[in-house]
Structure 1
Amino acid sequence: MTHSPPSFHRRTALALGAAAFTRPGFAQAATALPCPSGPGEIVGLMLEGTGAPAGTVTVFGQAFPPGHVPRGAALRARDTNGRESPAQLDVFAVHADGSARLGVVSLAPPAIGKGQERGVMLMAGAGGSPAPLDIAAALSGRSAVLELASAGGQVWRLDLLAAFRSAPADQAWQSGPLAVQRRVAVAVPADSLAGVTSLRVVADVALRSDGTLWTEVWLRNDAAMRPGGGSASYGVRVLLDGREAMRTGLLHQWQYTGWGRLLAADHGKPAAEPPRPRHDTNYLADAGAVPRYSMSSGAVDRALGQLARQVAEGNWSAPLEARGITRAMPSTGGRADIGPVTQPQALWLGTGDQRAATVSIGQAEAAGSVPWHMWDPSVNGWLDVKKWPRLWVDSRGGPPPGGLMQNVSGDTGWTPDTAHQPDLSTVPFILTGRRAFLDELLAQSAWNIISLWPAPRGEGEANVVRGVQVRGAAWSMRQLDNAAWAAPRGDRTGDYLRGVAASNWAWIRAQIPEWTRRQGEAHGWIPGEYGTPGAIAPWQQDYFVSTAVLSARRGNADARAVLDWMENFIAGRFLSGDRGFNPHDGCAYNLAMWPENQPQSPFNTWARIGQETRARNMSNGNGWSTSDGDYGTLAIQSLTLLSEVTGTPRARAALSWIQNAGAPYTAPAQRAGSQFDIAPRDAAGGCRVPARGTR
């Protein structure tokens, strides 16, 4: 069948490839992403050439709104010259109607010159049964071996391809004509590691139609609740087609951590780098996958340059390195790794820049080194309170079932903390489709529950909001909601976290009548623990808004009800001057909200809140003395999100006020490049996502 060249609509977008690493001062080049216009067209993307031969398979993740890829539909791909390329879609998460929510896309495009770009349109086609990849032929003459050498010199070998052959085909991550990927998970024998029983090899092995062999090998020292767990010392070598693809020196790996690398070979030589995809991230935002960013300033270019230097100057390639993640997570300040996403991820989403992609993906790998990975081999999932209702992974939890069989070592160099935790994995997982990043997301999300003291959490319950810092509730709910949205059905931890996320949103919604009664005309703020007696931090409410908006945009009715309720406070703090509350205090560091010794009796009028805030010297007065930070930016973020989701005149009026009030660091150029500089829908440009059923 032949097709005439499509008349793709176009939009201006910001993109930058790997060439930017060697072209100082080159910020973002305006290019055109194709927009869907014809029947069956779903979303456009851009492929940046690497000089790889025609047919080199590129693999990436893609999110879809409900109904865009119906159950059983196939995927087609056509470039702006009208040429179709082989395409494969493996769906691992679906919407309620069975249509695709998240999947892994494989494309085999024509050759694209290094640094050149080519627009591609993804289209829905009739389902079929294309001839699958001939696995026997693809494996012929190939080899993939992992060697693990203990500190004593003993070598243990794992034949990855033999394990691949025996892995269940019906559990494959990819299975089609372009790529087949299966998981290999093997416990390292304790007698190879001086009796350590907690180390596992988890490898995702893939064969592709271009003849390349890919393996993402992770060493996960995370098995919990069994005798013999502890730190492990070893060196690793991986051989692909007889060629050494990776070698380490002797490593010391603490329990509850992991590290991994993605490796590839082409019949004994290094595999060509596939074309790099650049997503239509505006489409991803409309699908509820990510926040919306649009970045194009000198400040953004400087931030991207800093990311390039971070990779070039640091010990970037070493296993178990932090790669710019703050190890002491309780640390405060303007950190690049805290927010709805991290700053590198925001820059990646907002610009498509390869420098930001490199750091974001690198930090998703480095997330493995945080000691929040507790694997329960008995259930083939991460530790949960379904099996361990009293579990608290703090050393004060005592022996099992109250605590871990081996406590987290105090010498890891990491101090995980729910109130200051970054989300290092969701965006890289969505954009790359790498299964290991889903592991990271699920491990961290499950840890958010068992890291809480069971008294406020509830024994056998998983309430991550009640009685905790609101910023901790915001980021814990962010993790739970992202995991619930992304994980495949049937995954034990994913199903567990879906239930936990739903119960937490339902609990918050159920508190609204009582909270409203207590809070009165200033209602709309989430109660919690704060560092200053009798006060709340309004910027922590802004954190929670960013989480609630993401969940509401994914169709969560409870989150939307919570958001509608919060708007009264989030907008009202800038619109209640006629009620005795100073709008300058809307982004103050703290607000006086109840008598210091009566937390159950909050002040319930704007006038009283304003009066007490002034009396306790927390007020900005006519200036901004308590707002010297990102507090104004956070307010703009919340109101931008509210203006898009709820669309009320109050939200828009409050947004206009704070945007023009002159609060510190709220000018557009000062916010540029921040993970909190979320773009409004109409200002972000891009392709409009047609209503469901109009394609």
Structure 2
Amino acid sequence: MKISYFFSATLLAAALCTGAPAIAAPEAGITSIRIQNTGEARSDVPFTFGQVFEAGHLQPGQGLGGRLASGTVVPLQVDVKATHGDGSVRHAIVSGVLPELASRQPAGLQLVAAAAQAPAARPAGPRELAATGLDGKVTIVVDGARYTASLAEALATNKPRPWLAGPIASEWLLDAPLKNASGRVHPLLTVRFDVRWYRTLKKQARIDVVVENAKTFAAGARNLVYDVEVEIAGRPAYALVGLTHYHHARWRHSTWWDAERAPALHLQPDTDYLIATGAVPNYDRTLKPDEQALGALGKGLNADTVGPMKIGPLTAYMPTAGGRHDIGPLPGFSVLYLLSMDARARAAMMAAADGSGSWSIHYRDDNTGYPVRTDNAANKGISTHNNLAHRGPLPVPRCDSAPGSSCKSPYGDDTSHQPSLAYLPYLLTGDYYYLEELQFWAASNPLATDPGNSGDGQGLVRWMQVRGQAWSLRTLGHAAYITPDAHPLKAYFTKQVDNNLAFYHAAYVVGNPNKLGLYDGSGPRAASVNGSPPWQDDFLTWSFGHLAELGFAKALPILQWKARYAVGRMTAPGYCWIQGSAYSLKFREDKGLPAYDTFAQLYRENFDRDKLTIDDKPVQHPQGLRYIDQACGSQAQADWLSAATGQRWERGRMVGYSSSPMGFPANMQPTLAMAATYNIPNAERAWSVFTARANQPNYAAAPQWAIVPRTAPVATGKTRNRAR
């Protein structure tokens, strides 16, 4: 259900003066947003942003007003998209118009709940916009033929999909056929205009042009090379020659009807409130982001990194190994933005979100118009794995391998190294393009295998590497959490989350296959493991905690079972916490045999030997002393490590690149924070030991792992957060 609420200070005053029924005055503020003008002084400045709310803070039927520092209340339109289980608003898109905004100056806007004002009697329609004279077109010259998509035609004839509807802003998603001179529609390329119109402001409309090569069932899928021109209201808005558009990829370009009057705004949400909602992890807000890192993000955005088929600060080949800025619960540049509200970090985050369309994972169902779903008899056999191209009943057509055609792309996707690409951008902007990006990635993740591995349409991620399971669950959870209630894919993603949680609950909580809480490959068709990579296991444990934060209650028992592994490596008798962040651990004698019964046994079987591997290097004490004989956390243990590694080793320093903000102790931090948040036995002690360790990283330039415990789980509805 999508509801639009409108609060008007003018109507409030009129009601009080005329004796009409009184409208309640604004209540205490819920949260705030800072609107920074980055351009010239303007009057009547339109703005739109996405806002997530804590459960219970904005009730159904309530409106919002935006209170300025002067006390003036700016009328706001609230398009409700998603709601909490209690019916209160979870996510909404908020629109308004500032009376004026000085050059390079900010305006703080406090969001205050108020009685809802009745919506406009007659919402604007696309034909009304067309009558004002807005026109535009996309021209693409491909394979020697010219194709054109007309905005005016789409406004006048198509059935638009409304996205925003109210007295301040209306937005429609308009599919525009890309046709040649004879009226033939291009078999692969499609165009959509997303038009956001501020009705009361002359020529104030934002036009997003989305070009896709993303059909799922069309024959002849391939890369296309073309020239493209975008024209809005008779003026050139964008042009590019020789663009290579990869198969099953897409791009967008955003422009304004009156380009000279286009608002230049940097919108800064309240990070404390955003974190308190549980929508994003509890990042350590005592950190001060590094200026050099912010500067590097800004310098990294240029013609080589921004634009169609460009990916901003992302790594093109996702399987690339090693610590990376884009891998983590959220990417480093996104967290830098949350902690700094710096425009350079936001620009990097948005460039990555735009660029996420460049990977060949976008499969749009030609019949429904939405990302392909597999929970039906016709589609449940879909797989994008190249080795399964011959399989029925309905294999996705592979990229055309005919001579002369091209299917190669510099962009390689990989669930094991998949960043969170569009979730936070959608949360903060409400732009439909970012919602679809999140949905495309969530929908595609289970497809690259035999359908039986993913549960024949259930969306199970059990078959992936352990870290791939973690990041896929995160992406799926984000899609289920934030997809609008009325969207056809809401129930689909929610059911897939439920399917996955049911699998892990049966395999681990009920099956209880080991006493350590580690992932051991249990459950039918699950990825087998020969040893335990603790850092990957920690990613998976954190993902269950994050799903619990998002309100998926069935994730909590799995977290409680799994978190024992991380907590035990820091606190269990007989296991030395210095090795809590080891790269890999042998956890059973052989494949198929039970896991070790105790952490003490786990420790002995891995470290009761003459030679060890420390930070990827084989080491041995020059005098033949045994590592396991040194007391845990002692100076003698540090001396042994110094002598064996040839470098100074501080007492209380953990293994695994301890000083790196991307090292294995850093990777462990979110899981220990989550365990402490949810009061896992001994988790508080594990967190204390962890935070007292020596040689800790400086997260100022790369804070993606800098998550700290909350004072209470989000599920209580009364969460407040703590910083380390």
Question: Common fold, TM-score beyond 0.5?
Answer: yes
Equivalent residue runs for 1:664-679 within 5 Å: 666-667=696-697, 669-670=698-699, 673-679=702-708
Distance 1:548 1:199 in 2: 39
| Correspondence for 2:648 | none
Using a 3 Å threshold, how does the CA distance of structure 1 residues 602 and 231 change in structure 2: closer, same or farther? same
Q: 1:462 is matched by which residue type in structure 2? A: G
Distance 2:233 2:45 in 1: 19
Distance 1:320 1:44 in 2: 35
2:459 paired residue among 459, 462, 468: 462
Normalising by the residue count of structure 2, what TM-score does the alignment of the two structures yield?
A: 0.82
User: CA shift at 1:680, angstroms?
Assistant: 4.1
Distance 2:247 2:183 in 1: 13
Distance 1:474 1:152 in 2: 42
2:301 paired residue among 307, 311, 328: 311
Distance 2:76 2:269 in 1: 16
| Correspondence for 1:605 | 598
Distance 2:104 2:226 in 1: 40
Distance 1:195 1:680 in 2: 55
Larger Rg: 2
| Correspondence for 2:552 | 556
Q: 2:419 is matched by which residue type in structure 1? A: P
The SS at the match of 1:54 is strand
| Correspondence for 1:12 | none
1:637 paired residue among 654, 661, 670: 670
Distance 1:284 1:581 in 2: 38
The SS at the match of 1:348 is helix
Q: Deviation string for 1:81-105 (max 9, x for gaps)? A: 1001121111121222332211111
Q: 2:585 matched to 1:591?
A: yes
User: CA shift at 1:452, angstroms?
Assistant: 2.8
The SS at the match of 2:100 is coil
1:451 paired residue among 435, 440, 448: 448
Q: 1:121 is matched by which residue type in structure 2? A: Q
Equivalent residue runs for 1:265-664 within 5 Å: 265-266=257-258, 269-294=259-284, 300-312=290-302, 315-386=304-375, 387-399=378-390, 400-401=392-393, 403-407=395-399, 411-465=408-462, 467-516=463-512, 518-520=513-515, 522-525=516-519, 527=521, 534-576=530-572, 579-595=573-589, 597-615=590-608, 621=627, 622=637, 623=641, 627-628=656-657, 630-644=663-677, 646-648=678-680, 650-662=682-694
Asked if the contact 1:327–1:414 (Cα under 8 Å) also holds between the matched residues in 2, the reply is yes
The SS at the match of 1:173 is strand
User: CA shift at 1:472, angstroms?
Assistant: 0.6
Asked if the contact 1:515–1:523 (Cα under 8 Å) also holds between the matched residues in 2, the reply is no
1:80 paired residue among 44, 69, 72: 69
The SS at the match of 1:456 is coil
User: CA shift at 1:678, angstroms?
Assistant: 1.8
Distance 2:295 2:26 in 1: 39
User: CA shift at 1:138, angstroms?
Assistant: 5.0
Q: Which 10-residue stretch deviates more, 95-104 or 55-64?
A: 95-104
The SS at the match of 2:542 is helix
Distance 1:103 1:124 in 2: 13
Q: Which runs of 5+ in 1 are unaligned?
A: 5-36
Asked if the contact 2:26–2:114 (Cα under 8 Å) also holds between the matched residues in 1, the reply is no
Distance 1:489 1:625 in 2: 45
Equivalent residue runs for 1:43-58 within 5 Å: 43-50=31-38, 51-58=40-47
Distance 2:583 2:255 in 1: 47
User: CA shift at 1:216, angstroms?
Assistant: 0.9
User: CA shift at 1:441, angstroms?
Assistant: 0.5
User: CA shift at 1:370, angstroms?
Assistant: 0.5
The SS at the match of 1:302 is helix
Using a 3 Å threshold, how does the CA distance of structure 1 residues 609 and 116 change in structure 2: closer, same or farther? same
Q: 1:155 is matched by which residue type in structure 2? A: R
- Which structure's relative contact order is higher, taking Cα pairs within 8 Å and 6+ residues apart? 1
Asked if the contact 1:217–1:262 (Cα under 8 Å) also holds between the matched residues in 2, the reply is yes
Using a 3 Å threshold, how does the CA distance of structure 1 residues 139 and 188 change in structure 2: closer, same or farther? closer
| Correspondence for 1:24 | none
| Correspondence for 1:14 | none
| Percentage identity across paired residues of the two chains | 25
| Correspondence for 2:48 | 59
User: CA shift at 1:412, angstroms?
Assistant: 1.0
Q: 1:176 is matched by which residue type in structure 2? A: G
| Correspondence for 1:146 | 137
Q: 2:388 is matched by which residue type in structure 1? A: G
CA RMSD of aligned residues (A): 3.1
Asked if the contact 2:670–2:707 (Cα under 8 Å) also holds between the matched residues in 1, the reply is yes
Q: 1:39 is matched by which residue type in structure 2? A: E
Using a 3 Å threshold, how does the CA distance of structure 1 residues 242 and 52 change in structure 2: closer, same or farther? farther
Using a 3 Å threshold, how does the CA distance of structure 1 residues 397 and 549 change in structure 2: closer, same or farther? same
Distance 1:232 1:157 in 2: 16
User: CA shift at 1:503, angstroms?
Assistant: 1.1
Q: Which 10-residue stretch deviates more, 420-429 or 201-210?
A: 201-210
The SS at the match of 1:90 is strand
Q: Deviation string for 1:310-348 (max 9, x for gaps)? A: 014x51343201222212111111111111111111111
Distance 1:184 1:389 in 2: 29
The SS at the match of 1:428 is helix
Using a 3 Å threshold, how does the CA distance of structure 1 residues 532 and 631 change in structure 2: closer, same or farther? farther
Distance 2:452 2:309 in 1: 34
Normalising by the residue count of structure 1, what TM-score does the alignment of the two structures yield?
A: 0.85
Distance 2:294 2:182 in 1: 44
Count of aligned pairs between the two proteins: 642
Q: 2:29 matched to 1:41?
A: yes
Asked if the contact 2:466–2:527 (Cα under 8 Å) also holds between the matched residues in 1, the reply is no
Using a 3 Å threshold, how does the CA distance of structure 1 residues 191 and 394 change in structure 2: closer, same or farther? farther
Distance 1:52 1:403 in 2: 56
User: CA shift at 1:418, angstroms?
Assistant: 1.0
Q: Which 10-residue stretch deviates more, 135-144 or 419-428?
A: 135-144
The SS at the match of 2:237 is strand
Q: 1:144 is matched by which residue type in structure 2? A: D
Asked if the contact 2:327–2:419 (Cα under 8 Å) also holds between the matched residues in 1, the reply is yes
Equivalent residue runs for 1:209-220 within 5 Å: 209-211=200-202, 212-220=204-212
User: CA shift at 1:242, angstroms?
Assistant: 1.3
Asked if the contact 2:215–2:248 (Cα under 8 Å) also holds between the matched residues in 1, the reply is yes
Using a 3 Å threshold, how does the CA distance of structure 1 residues 478 and 402 change in structure 2: closer, same or farther? same
